[in-house]
């Protein structure tokens, strides 16, 4: 297989680093994105189509990161783009919102069995809003987080040792482990009548560790404890939303959240996030002044409606699970034959991979680097995503590239993989 080079990416990165902090900041950048080693990865894309994107050097990638989630139907989906373009011809960001906003709210509330929907732009907009609602409604201040969580980058969701965060930002934060009901009971008991919300992703899809699905009865017990203690139960479904269940991941795991946050898979890359909630919190939500310049732009609403309808029409979640399972089983089996312990964890639609033959993850990083250099876009320490544009041929191709990449990694580590 051809091994890629990234000359143009490097040149653009040189320009970028002069005028943009980190060159490319955040999770799409080499540092936060754990592109290890940096020279094995390109940094800029030029076009995308379906399950693939191309970098500025013309290299093509089968992309299992899906823009870190938003690409749920496939890049440049013709139906979504047509709906967006049609809306754009009429209006986008205007002095008043368009009817599409109401249409989308009706669609989302009907789908998720919630009573209202509120729209913003990014996941962090609505996780923060959900916390504000919980505090206003309960009159309490503390928030329970699950260790290994990620709910955005605002100071309230960080730990005090993070750059740009101060201790006061985190003084009302409490922490428990996922699947630890006894730990949760203890925290509630120790902070009786002071806890406004419990916020968690539907399963633990944190980084650098095997992802953990809920144990039998876990969420039902969490629901019960929250109800008994007047704690608002917030599900951060930004990553999993519409990939496990179009009715929301709370429905998937058999419980009901009070507030549920959606973002990544709503509009196939058009910028929108949504908070859906139960009726008893609607008045609290309405009492809080919370808005943004672009939050009622019409184009993303039109794109979201088209996306959700297409996901429904194509039985998307079932397909995500099927293809994800096929890929994970294929990769693990392929690795096993080569004597490599590769673990796939979490839900197949958002699979997480880790080679466990060393405690430094160096072997895993070497394997991922070789995959990327051959056109299979996996990432080192983050869960991956399946989209609707992927077909079984793509899965076979992914396993083929991953196998060659693994051979290179094995060859480079003879002390670990003795014949």
Partner 1 sequence: MSTRTQAFVNFYAAMGTLYAYSKLDEKARELAAKQDISLRFKVKGGPDGVLVFEGGQIKAIPYQKGVKTDIVLYCSDVNKFNDLVDGKGQSVIPLKGFTKLGFLLNKESAFNKLTEDMATLMRKKEFDNKDEMRLSTLLAFYAMVSAIAQIGNEDDLGKVSAKKIPEGLISIEIPDQCYLTIKVTKEPQTKLEVIDERCPNPRSKMVFDSLETAKGVIDGKLDAMSCIATGKIAMSGFIPMLQFLNNILNLVPKYLS
Burial pattern 159-188, b for ≥16 Cβ within 10 A else e, equals eeeeeebeeebbebebebebbebebbeebb
Closer to partner 1 by CB, 37 or 292: give it. 37
Specify burial of residue 228 (Cβ count, 10 A radius: 0-12, 13-18, 19+): exposed
Query: In sequence order, what are the residues at sequence separation of 6 or more whose Cβ sits closer than 8 angstroms to the Cβ of residue 102?
Result: none
19 contributes a contact to partner 1 by CB under 8 A: no
Output phi, psi for 277, to 5 deg: -145, 170
Binds partner 1 (CB under 8 A): choice among 29, 152, 241, 300: 29
- Of the candidates 85, 86, 159, 280, which one interacts with partner 1 according to CB under 8 A? 159
- In the complex, minimum distance from the CB of residue 33 to partner 1, in angstroms, rounded to a whole number: 9
> Is residue 114 a contact residue for partner 1 (CB under 8 A)?
no
Q: Which of 183, 158, 186 has the alpha carbon at shortest distance from 172?
A: 158
Instruction: Rule CB under 8 A: say whether 171 interacts with partner 1.
Output: no
The three-class DSSP label of residue 324 is helix
Residue 380 CB, shortest distance to partner 1, in Å, is 8
- Decide if 88 contacts 299 (C-beta within 8 A): yes
Q: Does 7 bind partner 1 (CB under 8 A)?
A: no
Neighbouring-strand partners of residue 61: 53
Roughly how many angstroms between the first and final C-alpha of the chain, as a whole number? 24
How many residues of this chain interact with partner 1, rule: CB under 8 A? Answer: 31
Rounded CA separation 17/251 (Å): 44
Interior CA angle at 232 toward 231 and 238, to 5°? 140
- 32 lies in the site for partner 1, by CB under 8 A: yes
- The yes or no reply on residue 24 touching partner 1 (CB under 8 A) is yes
By beta-carbon proximity to partner 1, the closer residue of 161 and 216 is: 161
Q: How far is the CB of 360 from partner 1 (least distance, A)?
A: 4
Alpha-carbon distance of 211 to 346, in angstroms, equals 5
The reply on whether position 413 binds partner 1 by CB under 8 A is no
Residue from 3, 5, 37, 396 in contact with partner 1 (CB under 8 A):
37
Q: Which stretch binds partner 1 (CB under 8 A): 13-21, 195-203, 226-234, 339-347?
A: 13-21
Q: Which is nearer to partner 1, 30 or 324 (CB)?
A: 30
Nearer to partner 1, 31 or 408 (CB): 31
Footprint on this chain of partner 1 (rule: CB under 8 A):
13-14, 17, 21-25, 29-32, 34, 36-39, 159-163, 167, 208, 359-362, 365, 380-381
């Amino acid at each position: 297989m051809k091994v890629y080079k990234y000359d143009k990416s490097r040149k653009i990165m040189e320009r970028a680093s002069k005028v943009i902090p980190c060159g490319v900041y955040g999770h799409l950048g080499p540092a936060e994105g754990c592109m290890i080693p940096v020279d094995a990865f390109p940094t800029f894309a030029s076009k995308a189509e379906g399950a693939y994107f191309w970098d500025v050097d013309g290299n093509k990638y089968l992309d299992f990161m899906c823009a870190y989630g938003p690409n749920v139907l496939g890049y440049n989906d013709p139906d979504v783009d047509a709906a967006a373009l049609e809306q754009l011809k009429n209006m986008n960001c205007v002095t008043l919102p368009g009817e599409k906003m109401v249409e989308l709210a009706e669609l989302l509330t009907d789908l998720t069995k919630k009573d209202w929907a509120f729209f913003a732009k990014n996941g962090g907009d609505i996780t923060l809003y959900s916390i504000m609602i919980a505090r206003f409604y309960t009159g309490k201040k503390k928030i329970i987080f699950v260790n290994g969580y990620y709910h955005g980058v605002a100071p309230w969701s960080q730990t005090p040792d993070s750059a740009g965060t101060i201790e006061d930002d985190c003084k009302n934060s409490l922490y428990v482990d996922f699947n630890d009901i006894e730990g949760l009971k203890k925290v509630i008991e120790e902070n009786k009548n002071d806890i406004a919300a419990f916020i968690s992703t539907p399963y633990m899809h944190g980084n650098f560790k095997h992802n953990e699905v809920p144990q039998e009865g876990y969420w039902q017990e969490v629901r019960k404890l929250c109800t008994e203690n007047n704690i608002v139960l917030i599900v951060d479904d930004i990553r999993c939303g519409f990939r496990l269940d179009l009715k929301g991941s709370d429905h998937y795991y058999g419980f009901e959240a009070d507030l549920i946050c959606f973002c990544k898979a709503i509009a196939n890359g058009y910028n929108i996030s949504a908070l859906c909630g139960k009726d008893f919190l609607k008045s609290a939500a309405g009492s809080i002044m919370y808005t943004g310049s672009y939050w009622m732009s019409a184009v993303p609403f039109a794109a979201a409606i088209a996306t959700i309808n297409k996901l429904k029409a194509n039985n998307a979640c079932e397909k995500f699970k099927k293809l994800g399972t096929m890929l994970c089983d294929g990769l693990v089996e392929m690795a096993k034959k080569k004597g490599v312990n590769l673990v796939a964890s979490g839900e197949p639609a958002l699979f997480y991979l880790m080679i466990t033959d060393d405690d430094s993850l160096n072997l895993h990083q070497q394997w991922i680097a070789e995959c990327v250099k051959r056109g299979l876009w996996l990432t080192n320490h983050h869960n991956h995503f399946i989209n609707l544009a992927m077909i079984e041929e793509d899965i076979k191709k992914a396993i083929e590239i991953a196998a060659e990449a693994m051979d290179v990694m094995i060859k480079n580590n003879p002390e670990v993989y003795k014949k």
